Amino acid sequence: MTQNKSKSPWFWVPSLYLTESLPYVVIITVSVIMYKNLGISNADIGLYTSFLYLPWVIKPLWSPVLELFGNKKQWFLSMQLILSLVFLGVGLTTGLDQYFTITLAFFWMGAFASATNDIASDGLYLIALKPDQQSFFVGVRSTFYRVGMITGQGLIVILAGYLEETFGNPNQAWSWTMIGVAGLMLILTGLNYLATPKVIEERVKKEDEPSFGKVFSTFFTKKNIGLSLGFVLLYRLGESQLVKMASPFFLDTREAGGLGLSTTEVGFIYGTLGVIALLAGGILGGIAISRDGLGRWMMPMAIAINAPNLGYILLSWQQPESLSFAMTAVVIEQFGYGFGFAAYMIFLIFLAEGAFKTAHYALATGFMAMGMMLPGMLSGYMQEWLGYPGFFVWVVMATIPGFLMAYLAKYPKEFGKKSES
């Protein structure tokens, strides 16, 4: 493998992971806010938007195709172009009578394209950077991935809220918002075409080319694979449910147990101080592991990603009218998430070590998506059954398996530590 050395990772890692996260957050998270604004129930929102995780769960089925054929850069540029067209389709059909079914179909197509984009983008990261660079840039990578999420949850939602107030029609507001997302994706695709390095990927000789089955079997025969997959599935068990119901909680009326915030206010909360906290947490997390290794920081980071969920219990009990209380809870949660997620990402990189890194990383992230999908599908029903206060107590209880697996997981304690040389 050779690459264009003139392109620093500082130049292309941020744009690549911003473009990886933006379609993901629009499909998985912003769709929640959109459907809530358009009158869909929490139970249906939780079920159908969580089911959109499925392409990320099953993406390992086609990840060997990207491992064995084609160029990673060509793959992700093609998928990003398709995503631009998908969001345009959502924008043009939001005002139709059968908008829920039609937009879900577009989101489904976008989910498959986004999952494929993830495989190719992660593959370029793994083959273009040395191991110590991967550890150092995991903070930058995670941060800009989350910046893309905040762009969706923050700026895009603020835009939708502003257009809703301007037009007085949520369908029209979300139509123009999604058309804007399509334009943004097109711009980012062009940026990645110019910014990402040209990598010539080494290909094995035809007679030595591994079979589709071998790519999979070598993953499931890794040492301690059971414990590793338990960690991947359960580390974010609480977060997987919180993320689906946090925005509905902010948007629901106070009579329904929510905080009664506007769409613009919800976007403002995530898009201002939340961004700063996320940047700080993500960068510090990557630096900490790069300095001391994963073993030193695993449990502190597990605490950081889970403990802030307690803030939502207080918010649901008190239902404070001041926006500052909600902002404080989000700031603490975003900082903790950015910091704690660094350990998760480094563990996934460790799990992909060895032959077939791209396919094995896709397998690991497929299980990561399963850990978000299955609990998320039940989150709306749990919330409607328990109410918001009871639901957030349940979310905190659901963090216990994550702590247990963080303690039991097996990995080199120095993994991720920057080489002294």
Per the structure, the count of domains in the chain is 1
The answer to whether residue 22 is domain-embedded is yes
Residue 146 belongs to some domain of the structure: yes
Binned at pLDDT 50, 70 and 90, residue 136 comes out as confident
> Does residue 206 register a pLDDT over 90?
no
Range of the domain at 371: 8-197+222-408
Asked if residue 413 belongs to a domain, the reply is no
On whether residue 247 sits in a domain, the answer given is yes
Do strands 199-200 and 2-3 pair parallel, antiparallel, or not at all (unpaired)? antiparallel
Q: Which of 28, 25, 50 is nearest to 371 (CA)?
A: 50
Does residue 138 fall inside a structural domain?
yes
Confidence of residue 2 (pLDDT cuts 50, 70, 90): very low
Three-state DSSP at 210 gives coil
> How many helices, marked H, and strands, marked E, lie in the chain?
20, 2
Segment 111-131 shows an average pLDDT of 85
* Cα gap 295→305, rounded to integer Å: 16
Q: How far, CA to CA in Å, does 272 sit from each of 159, 265, 330?
A: 14, 11, 10
> Can you say how many angstroms the Cα of residue 353 is from the centroid of all Cα atoms in its chain?
22
Mean pLDDT for 404-416 is: 92
CB atoms under 10 Å from CB of 351, counted, come to 25
Does position 60 have pLDDT exceeding 90, yes or no? no
- Going by pLDDT thresholds of 50, 70 and 90, the confidence category of residue 4 is very low
Residues 13-55 have pLDDT tens digits of 889 999 999 999 999 889 999 999 999 999 999 899 998 989 9
Q: What is the mean pLDDT of the chain?
A: 87
| % of the chain residues with pLDDT over 90 | 55
206 in any annotated domain: no
Highest mean pLDDT among 122-131, 173-182, 235-244: 173-182
Span 115-121, average pLDDT: 90
Average pLDDT over residues 138-155: 81
Structure token digits, residue 44: 């249906």
Q: Is residue 80 part of a domain?
A: yes
Question: What is the value of pTM for the model shown?
Answer: 0.79
CATH number (domain holding residue 94): 1.20.1250.20
Q: Is residue 207 part of a domain?
A: no
Residue range 150-193, pLDDT digits in tens: 788 888 999 999 999 999 999 999 999 999 999 999 999 999 99
**Candidate from 80-89, 119-128, 232-241, 292-301 with smallest mean pLDDT:** 119-128
pLDDT at 201 (0 to 100)? 62
